[in-house]
Structure 1
């Protein structure tokens, strides 16, 4: 099996980066895989020390077939760095596995991702594979399933799919009808499309929502495992776009093999499970806000 290159994007979080690397080193196939690390430059003096610390650390690691480090000379920002890095590597290798510096993988993550890339290589409708699975109710779910949303807390794809990536807010706003937005938002369980609007308004600068939109507009699907191969440790308040929360915590799967579904359509049970989960998160966040207000009022 021809293994996909791993591309890791790092910035100014030394501890998170170390957790990500050490977990990846324990993976099956790690020693046979090429690793590309894109290190963004500091955007201000406050970030300079930690960026340097991250760069010193990544220069000391081993455990992979080959390690290539790309140090940005100026601050690109996460979105621009990922778009540029993924495009360059995928155009050369034809497929790719992508991680950021706050994703801790289980020991069979690389095995799952590479086998999925091989299994669905010629399925045009399959455009995205993720190793992360939200903590939804899995009672009625198969080992793997397809839904429309693309989780980018670890992901993989092919050049045949990535060529359709388009980060264009005007294009998306023009193309999406109200009916499409409702479906895109999982029947309004999660306000995905709001991210496109916020990019248009200049409030955020992200890339992943446009990848989901690009897949959606091609009628593509994203493969998810029933249980997660990845834990996101970035919701501790230090990330660029992540607040502090525990609602996305999962237990990592310890099984080396899952059965890949051959039904290339959106799994209705999986979709409903995700809608229910995201709706429950909204209630959870509302309770957090109300409890915070109560504490403030009691202190005043």
Structure 2
């Protein structure tokens, strides 16, 4: 039997959210068959140490997975570098991974969905990653698939070959930012993307996923999204969150059916109705009204 892709879980100083994340992962149907890697960043300031130690203590008590590996940093690496380094470390040993941060509640069929996507699209030239989240979009009439495709990275599931081709330094940023045609094209899948990439390159935010978005953009690939979300982000309401605020514009309705077999298409193309809905959610008007 093919084993599920390993789970790579990242944590820092949110013990309450981390505990809930672990409990939800343990409730997944594939948890006891899955290998779990836990990376815990070290405290940035002395005041952070008590919460970091609480997270470390919780991590040492984790059960319910096939194998558990703990990686506890004594120094602060930072959110983006911790994730980039941790995922890279695991992908040197495995062909694909499931990435989860410490503020994500997963549905019991989350691992089923991500793993089936990782198997189905492993060699597909048009698919860059497999997402676990979606906005609560209306479904097109007679839509038969359990996924839709969109050109914005949502890397809950990703393969080593895509990951290791990513230019984390964004070495061509100067040429990109000077090109209005490229900037417009990048913002096709969200009017926030050029700004996020610029702020990341200029070290204004500690983000890793926008760099994956940029790599996916250059490769002209798509992400497979579930039509019903398999995750819920609880970190928007935490005082210890890094890149979020108190209002969660990504609030969604998690899957309540928990089915375990999914219809994944052979043909990878965008559906106009999903694309329009996603573009609207990432539009300047929506972000201006609620951010």
Q: State how far apart, in whole Å, the 2-side matches of 1:227 and 1:76 are.
A: 34
Aligned length: 283
Contact 2:146 2:226 in 1 (8 A): yes
Q: Is 2:154 the partner of 1:148?
A: no
Cα distance, 1:124 vs structure 2: 2.5
Report the equivalent of 1:6. 7
Structure 1 consecutive aligned stretches of length 4 or more whose deviation exceeds 4 Å: none
Report the equivalent of 2:184. 182
Name structure 2 gaps, 5 residues minimum: none
Cα distance, 1:23 vs structure 2: 0.3
Cα distance, 1:147 vs structure 2: 0.8
Report the equivalent of 2:203. 202
CA displacement 1:177-209 (0-9 Å, x = unmatched): 32232232236x531111111123331221110
Report the equivalent of 1:113. 114
Report the equivalent of 2:235. 234
How big is the alpha-carbon RMSD for the aligned residues of Structure 1 and Structure 2? 1.7
Report the equivalent of 1:262. 266
- Distance of aligned partners of 1:183 and 1:270 in 2 relative to their CA distance in 1, 3 Å threshold: farther
Q: Per the alignment, in what secondary structure is the counterpart of residue 63 of structure 1?
A: coil
Q: Is 2:280 the partner of 1:273?
A: no
Cα distance, 1:215 vs structure 2: 1.2
Q: Is 2:52 the partner of 1:51?
A: yes
CA displacement 1:65-105 (0-9 Å, x = unmatched): 01100001210001001110111101111110000000000
Cα distance, 1:170 vs structure 2: 4.3
Q: State how far apart, in whole Å, the 2-side matches of 1:110 and 1:47 are.
A: 32
Cα distance, 1:9 vs structure 2: 0.2
Q: State how far apart, in whole Å, the 1-side matches of 2:270 and 2:185 are.
A: 12
Contact 1:169 1:199 in 2 (8 A): no
Q: State how far apart, in whole Å, the 1-side matches of 2:209 and 2:248 are.
A: 21
Q: Per the alignment, in what secondary structure is the counterpart of residue 244 of structure 2?
A: coil
Q: State how far apart, in whole Å, the 1-side matches of 2:77 and 2:146 are.
A: 38
Contact 2:107 2:258 in 1 (8 A): no
Q: Per the alignment, in what secondary structure is the counterpart of residue 128 of structure 1?
A: strand
Q: Is 2:131 the partner of 1:130?
A: yes
CA displacement 1:224-264 (0-9 Å, x = unmatched): 01110000001114211111113211121123133112222
Q: Per the alignment, in what secondary structure is the counterpart of residue 243 of structure 1?
A: coil
Q: Per the alignment, in what secondary structure is the counterpart of residue 146 of structure 1?
A: strand
- Relative to the length of structure 2, the TM-score reads 0.92
Q: State how far apart, in whole Å, the 1-side matches of 2:199 and 2:154 are.
A: 19
- Relative to the length of structure 1, the TM-score reads 0.89
Report the equivalent of 2:253. 251
